[in-house]
Amino acid sequence: MLTSGIIREKRDFVIEKLKVKNFDATEITAKIIETDTRRRDIQVRADSLMSEMNRISKVIGKLYAENKKAEADAARARTGELKEEIKELSLKRAEAEDLLNELLVQLPNLPHESVKPGKGENENETIREGGKMPAMSEDALPHWDLIKRYDIIDIELGNKLTGAGFPVYKGKGARLQRALINFFLDEGEKAGFSEILPPVLVNEESGFGTGQLPDKEGQMYHVTEDNLYLIPTAEVPITNIYRDVILEEEQLPVMNMGYTQCFRREAGSWGAHVRGLNRLHQFDKVEIVVISHPSKSYETLDMMLKHVEHLVNLLELPYRVLRLCGGDISFTSALTYDFEVWSAGQKRWLEVSSVSNFESFQSNRLKCRYRDKETKQNQLVHTLNGSALALPRIVAALLENNQTPRGIRVPAALIPYTGFDIID
């Protein structure tokens, strides 16, 4: 979340930067400055009255001791008036602060200087490609046909039990799913990430802390009776571990990862590109989350990108890395890279990971800070996260890219986890 101080000092800069995200901040920043000025003026007036009340209170006893009852009674009456006026000002200040916060949470994060303007995903920039394209025939099957042929994932049974977007994994399909989760966690541990198994339900404060609320409530499953939300990603609970926490500088970076089931309503999704495993309401994902020193967060982002790239290389998947343009980057992110893998059966690229630096946007909401070892001052940290990896489209690409006359080949890196080398 941006601060009123930044907006007061750099309003023109903020307006220009948010144009990259196709967001017109002209009107709202004016309201923020106006509200912040009113809040400050109220505070100055309240402080002045408080000072006057304290000064008068100190002399009341002395006046009574000197038998100056009339003056003492008048002074006491004045302190009563001042208390009431201060109380009224306190209410007005609270109203101004509430309005200021309501306005501030409507502003997206400022994009990094490398983010290019653009309207949507078609204007994202491919920064590199890797892996070897599979030598597949033109009649390669999409995964929704393969899962039926080998009876490993049952879409219809999921529809029966719950509804669309909740598949049932069976036999070698379930084993493949479990293998991928353990593989991602083991590789994350090798890279220095500590594993956390968090809850999949979070409260409203946690949703606000990482920016899902109030921006994405329409995409989240809400347990209304308890006012809890099913998580869209492990980013939410893992990052919120550090809400209202002050870290020592030498503790940074804090590197965590977690496997969770994730839940997204995906309201309005339809069409051929959401068939099969392409877009689900419940899915498995391993997330990496880093709390970083501000001066090193972009080095951290590069490290996270290399980790995800390492995973897709081990899975022998052709991939490309995209830098998202202003029209496709999220509300909370300063800079995001997407990883896409090639889907031989669908003959298109599938997004399997987003890796983002939020700079201090989330930490300002979370009140997550570190203590500078030289100045001893508390400073906001930078937060980052990335999918490492989301399973549904990885499974789709693995099935489609590795289909053979014998069955579906399992990549060598996964065989120790699956216990089999072919799905037949």
Annotated catalytic residues are 264, 279, 351, 354, 393
Task: Tell me which amino acid residue 93 is.
Answer: R
Report d(CA 414, CA 410) in Å as an integer: 7
Angle at 147 between CA 144 and CA 153, to 5 degrees: 105
Structure tokens at 316: 């022998």
115 Cβ neighbours under 8 A, 6+ residues apart = 20, 323, 324, 325, 326, 329, 334, 335
Q: Among all chains, which residue has been given the structure tokens 């602060």? A: 97
404 Cβ neighbours under 8 A, 6+ residues apart = none
Q: Among all chains, which residue has been given the structure tokens 């090193």? A: 296
Report the chain's terminal Cα–Cα distance, integer Å: 51
Structure tokens at 239: 């990052």
Judge contact between 291 and 242, C-beta under 8 A: yes
Starting at the earlier edge strand, list the strands of the sheet with 228-230.
Answer: 201-203, 228-230, 222-223
